[in-house]
Amino acid sequence: MTNATNPSFDLAHLGHVEMLTDKFEESLDFFTRVYGLKLSGQDETSAYLRAWDDYEFCTLKLTKADTTGVGHIGYRAASPEALEQRVKVIEESGYKVHGWNDGDLSHGRAFRFEDPFGHVFEIYYDTVWFEAQGDDVAALKNTASAFEGAAPRRIDHLNLLSSDVTEFKRFMETCLGSRVTEYIELDNGRIGGCWFTVNNKTYDLACTEEQGGGNARLHHVTYATDQREDILRAADIFLQNGVHIETGPHKHAIQGTFFLYVWEPAGNRVELANAGARLIMAPDWKPIKWTQADRMKGQAWGLKTIESFHTHGTPPVKK
């Protein structure tokens, strides 16, 4: 028999992403009024946001800063015991460790560590469940809160940039117990991109090769919609509100997601995506390899990937 491709399952799911913005009020207006996230709470430096069916208090922590990009990435552990077990693995891994912190408005104590490229991760178990009040209470009891329009349903994934995707792959497999579901192998033998999951979703994090010369940069954060039509309606909403639509709506070849990419006011790239019902159920999943020739064909239905998609990340690279 072949071995299981992710034998740990210590981590339950991607919990939240901290996004940095140097245009806080404009970014907050975009994410709440235009993009359709809900504001759960706010402190001196951050707004705590979530999609209408995210059970946690926060899936996007929007933080005031003098730059843009990603502050940290949070994963929720499967249990208190799994948290301690994964911390032990990370401490023995040789990767940079920040140690424990007390958490914030959205979760309890968390353990932070860092990949070789400067992206900060944290894992936690104790979390704050969102409790809807008043008009936010959903009519259906199995829905976390009410919603309007084409608002996204839940956080889906994020994409980070690194100068060595192979080394990032080793970090994800070692520290998070992730497995690879799909990847790009370039003609020169380098891995150009990897898609990772800690559970049965097709992916919760992607890493692609940095082509803009930066460090610890964010490519995009993605929320999922119920259906493709939500994304088509969202495109009209973005157009009406003067939001920069970078590419889409269209369908990715890799992972097969229907997508739309925009830039929020500070320049961070944000995606709406619909993944359909695709799950990775096989415990011995065989990662799908895409070649450079495959990628040169463009996206699933022939749309060529535009140049900014390869070069734009946050924070921007100083010339």
Q: In the predicted model, what is the mean pLDDT of residues 31-35?
A: 94
Check if the beta carbon of residue 200 is closer than 8 Å to that of residue 1: no
189-198 pLDDT, tens digit each:
999 999 999 9
Check if the beta carbon of residue 68 is closer than 8 Å to that of residue 20: yes
> Does the pLDDT at position 101 exceed 80?
yes
138-156 pLDDT, tens digit each:
777 787 776 665 589 999 9
- Please report the pLDDT score of residue 150 as a whole number: 54
- Please report the pLDDT score of residue 2 as a whole number: 58
Helix (H, G, I), strand (E, B) or coil at 161: strand
> Does the pLDDT at position 37 exceed 70?
yes
* Most confident by average pLDDT, 113-117, 226-230, 273-277: 113-117
- Please report the pLDDT score of residue 1 as a whole number: 44
- Please report the pLDDT score of residue 235 as a whole number: 95
Q: In the predicted model, what is the mean pLDDT of residues 156-172?
A: 97
198-243 pLDDT, tens digit each:
999 999 999 999 998 889 999 999 999 999 999 999 999 999 999 9
Check if the beta carbon of residue 40 is closer than 8 Å to that of residue 26: no
Distance CA 255, CA 252 (A): 7
Check if the beta carbon of residue 157 is closer than 8 Å to that of residue 14: yes
Q: In the predicted model, what is the mean pLDDT of residues 48-53?
A: 96
